[in-house]
């Protein structure tokens, strides 16, 4: 037990895993030699191939970031009108709809998975609905079977925001192979990073070509522009870094798993703290460690959050506020707290604890001690 209030080094909710700098040097030398900096260069091609193989998917298109991937995915499928989505996510999920002139329709989440509640989708469908945009929150699988059933029944497309779901396998196959398209983010805060980066998982070569055109201004070949495309291309430095990350990702996820186990063991019997279960039938990536601060805990969620700051520990309230509470969304009928009671309640009690490969056992103990109240 620590009696003193010595300020120790800060512990953030996440830190990127960086391989030793020497390991990146040879990649940079190659780029300097070839002078091929972007536009589907050799590292881009190799990374696309290696990443698809690692993830267990057939086709994917790399992007400069996850948000551009989301915006482009909606363009690729010509989604218009209304799209049903979750309020319990990072704001980019819904922003991608507004950037396409699409109206988001918020549906409440399932209290167990924290993902779009499949039982509530149907009631939100209107003649304008063209697609569903669910999120695998914290990398835990949505009810993909039920989502697809509803989509099929109403002739809707399904795009998964899989920004948290890098490498997740569900029922023995990649979670990313569900729906019409899935989107990944490789932002610095994510489990797998290329500084900034993202990808769209595509079901076939034809769709991938369409998406590759769209991310490159709509150029189909040197002289043909087939759509008002955007510049969403990943550059060679990002792609090279991705190749290096791939070499270390299994080790990184294994360490995350140890930390998850440590938290689970030490936090499971603290009154007023509940721990959402690990997903079943899933090879999980341990990308987040949410806890729920219940009414019977000795502090409120905000008090615990503030207490952490006093100990130089920075957990995050993912996701608070809900997307539906931001000014550009709160006027929508579907954005009312009354329509979203589960998400609303969850956003007021969730706290995501630090979890990342270089977090030491000692730092994990520091986090646990703050919650236990053995430090004041
Ligand atoms: C990080 C994130 C995004 C955005 O990805 P960027 O690569 O940062 O643009 C989108 N959706 C969710 C759920 C995210 O967590």
Ligand 1 centre from 6 Cα, in Å? 35
Q: Does residue 294 surpass a pLDDT of 60?
A: yes
Q: Please choose from 63, 64, 136, 163 the residue to mutate so as to test ligand 1's pocket, defined by most ligand atoms within 8 A of CB.
A: 163
90 C-alpha to ligand 1 centroid (Å): 6
- For ligand 1, the distance from its centroid to the CA atom of residue 95, given in whole angstroms, is 11
Q: Which of 246, 269, 287 is the last residue of a domain?
A: 246
Q: pLDDT value at position 373? A: 87
Interval between CA 272 and ligand 1 midpoint (Å) = 31
266 and 364 inside one domain? yes
112 pLDDT more than 70: yes
Q: Are residues 313 and 221 in the same domain?
A: no
198 lines ligand 1 (CB under 6 A): yes
Question: Per the structure block, which two tokens stand in for 82?
Answer: 């209304």
Residues 201 and 323 in one domain: no
What is the average per-residue pLDDT within 288-297? 98
Distance of CA 92 from the midpoint of ligand 1 (Å)? 6
Q: Is 139 in the pocket of ligand 1 (CB under 6 A)?
A: no
The whole-number average pLDDT for the span 296-301 is 97
**Do 6 and 92 lie in a common domain?**
no
Domain boundary among 246, 264, 292: 246
* Residue of 68, 74, 92 with the most ligand 1 atoms within 8 Å of its CB, for mutation: 92
Task: Report the separation in Å between the CA atom of 196 and the middle of ligand 1, taken as the mean of its atom positions.
Answer: 10
> What is the per-residue pLDDT for 1?
47
220 and 129, same domain (yes or no): yes
Asked if residue 239 belongs to a domain, the reply is yes
Q: Is 70 helix (H, G, I), strand (E, B) or coil?
A: helix
Cβ contacts of 118 within 8 Å, gap of 6 or more:
110, 142, 143, 146, 147, 150
pLDDT band at 240 (very low <50, low <70, confident <90, very high): very high
Ligand 1 centre to CA of 31 (Å) is: 28
Pair of tokens at residue 289: 């460690």
16 in a structural domain? no
User: If pLDDT is split at 50, 70 and 90, which confidence band does 375 have?
Assistant: low
Structure tokens belonging to residue 286: 């341990």
Residue 241 domain flag: yes
pLDDT at 374 over 70: no
In the block, which residue shows the tokens 């189909």?
220
> What does residue 75 show for φ and ψ, rounded to 5 degrees?
-65, -45
Give the residue among 199, 242, 164 at the shortest CA–CA distance from 70: 199
Task: Decide whether any atom of ligand 1 lies within 6 Å of the 207 Cβ.
Answer: no
The predicted pLDDT at position 322 comes to: 98
232 shares its domain with 259: no
Q: How far, in Å, is the centroid of ligand 1 from the Cα of 60? A: 17
pLDDT at 8: 82
Phi and psi angles of residue 14, each rounded to the nearest 5 degrees, phi first: -150, 155
What is the number of other CB atoms lying within 10 angstroms of the CB of residue 256? Answer: 22
Average pLDDT over residues 210-223: 98
**Whether residues 199 and 303 fall in one domain:** no
Question: Do residues 205 and 299 share a domain?
Answer: no
CA-to-CA dists, residue 252 to 10, 37, 74, 189, angstroms = 20, 28, 32, 14
CA 293 – ligand 1 centroid, Å: 25
The response to whether residue 66 sits with its C-beta less than 6 Å from ligand 1 reads yes
Is 124 part of any domain?
yes
**Structural domain total, the chain:** 2
DSSP state of 58: S
Closest-lying ligand 1 atom to the alpha carbon of residue 96 = 10
Q: Quick check: 204 pLDDT over 50?
A: yes
Mean pLDDT (the chain, rounded): 97
For the cut 60, the answer to whether the pLDDT of residue 5 exceeds it is no
Residue found by looking up tokens 């999980």 in the block: 284
Residue nearest to atom 7 of ligand 1 (CA): 66
264 within a domain of the structure (yes/no): yes
Residue 197 maps to which CATH number? 3.40.640.10
The verdict on the CB of residue 240 being under 6 Å from ligand 1 is no
Distance CA 40, CA 88 (A): 35
Ligand 1 atom with minimal separation from the 89 CA: 13
Give the DSSP letter string of 132-188: EE-B-GGGPPP-HHHHHHHHHHHT-EEEEE-TT-TT-EETTEEGGGSSSEEEEE--T
The residue from 198, 216, 246 where one domain ends is 246
Distance of alpha carbon 31 from alpha carbon 42, whole angstroms: 9
Give the pLDDT confidence of 66-100 residue by residue, as tens digits.
999 999 999 999 999 999 999 999 999 999 999 99
3-state secondary structure of 220: strand
- Give 6's pLDDT tier (boundaries 50, 70, 90): low
Dihedral angle, C-alpha 343, 344, 346, 352, nearest 10 °: 100
Q: Specify whether 103 is located in the same domain as 204.
A: yes
Residue 223 lies in a domain: yes
Instruction: Give, to the nearest 10 degrees, the angle between helix 66-76 and helix 205-214.
Output: 120
Which domain CATH number covers 326?
3.90.1150.10
Least Cα distance to 294 among 344, 345, 341, 343 occurs for 345
Q: Check pocket membership of 65 for ligand 1, CB cut-off 6 A.
A: yes
Full residue range of the structural domain in which residue 109 is found: 21-246
159 and 275, same domain (yes or no):
no
Q: What is the pLDDT of residue 209?
A: 98
Decide whether any atom of ligand 1 lies within 6 Å of the 316 Cβ. Answer: no
- Cα 14 from Cα 258, distance rounded (Å): 15
Q: State the greatest distance between any 2 C-alpha atoms of the chain, in Å, as a whole number.
A: 71
How close is the Cα of 105 to the center of ligand 1, in Å? 19
44 with 187, same domain: the answer is yes
Same domain? For 255 and 223 the reply is no
Question: Ligand 1 pocket, 162 CB below 6 A?
Answer: no
Residue given tokens 């993912």 in the structure block: 318
Which of 39, 124, 76 is closest to 333 using CA atoms?
124
């Amino acid at each position: 037990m620590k009696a003193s209030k010595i300020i120790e080094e800060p512990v953030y909710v996440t830190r990127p895993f960086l391989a030793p700098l020497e390991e990146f040097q040879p990649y940079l030398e190659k780029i300097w030699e070839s002078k091929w900096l972007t536009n589907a260069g050799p590292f881009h091609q190799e990374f696309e191939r290696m990443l698809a193989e690692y993830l267990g998917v057939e086709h994917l298109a790399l992007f400069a970031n996850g948000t551009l991937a989301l915006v482009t995915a909606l363009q690729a499928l010509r989604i218009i009108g209304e799209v049903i989505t979750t309020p319990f996510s990072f704001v980019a999920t819904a922003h991608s709809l507004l950037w396409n002139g699409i109206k988001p329709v918020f549906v409440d989440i399932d209290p167990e998975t924290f993902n779009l509640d499949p039982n509530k989708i149907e009631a939100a469908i209107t003649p304008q609905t063209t697609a569903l945009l669910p999120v695998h929150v914290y990398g835990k699988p949505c009810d993909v079977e039920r989502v697809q059933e509803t989509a099929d029944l109403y002739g809707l497309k399904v795009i998964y925001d899989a920004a948290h779901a890098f490498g997740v396998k569900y029922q023995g196959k990649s979670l990313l192979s569900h729906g019409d398209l899935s989107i990944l983010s490789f932002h610095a805060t994510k489990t797998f990073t290329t500084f900034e980066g993202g990808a769209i998982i595509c079901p076939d070569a034809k769709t991938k070509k369409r998406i590759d055109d769209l991310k490159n201004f709509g150029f189909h070949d040197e002289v043909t522009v087939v759509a008002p495309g955007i510049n969403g291309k990943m550059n060679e430095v990002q792609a090279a870094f991705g190749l290096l990350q791939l070499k270390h990702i299994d080790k990184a996820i294994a360490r995350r798993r140890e930390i998850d186990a440590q938290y689970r063991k030490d936090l499971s019997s603290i009154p007023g703290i509940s721990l959402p279960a690990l997903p079943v039938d899933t090879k999980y990536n341990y990308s987040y460690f949410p806890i729920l601060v219940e009414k019977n805990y000795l502090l409120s969620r905000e008090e615990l959050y503030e207490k952490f700051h006093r100990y130089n520990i920075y957990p995050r309230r993912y996701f608070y506020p809900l997307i539906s509470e931001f000014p550009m969304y709160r006027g929508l009928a579907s954005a009312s707290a009354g329509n979203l009671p589960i998400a609303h309640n969850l956003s007021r009690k969730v706290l995501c604890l630090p979890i990342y490969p270089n977090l030491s056992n000692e730092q994990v103990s520091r986090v646990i001690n703050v919650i236990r109240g053995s430090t004041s």
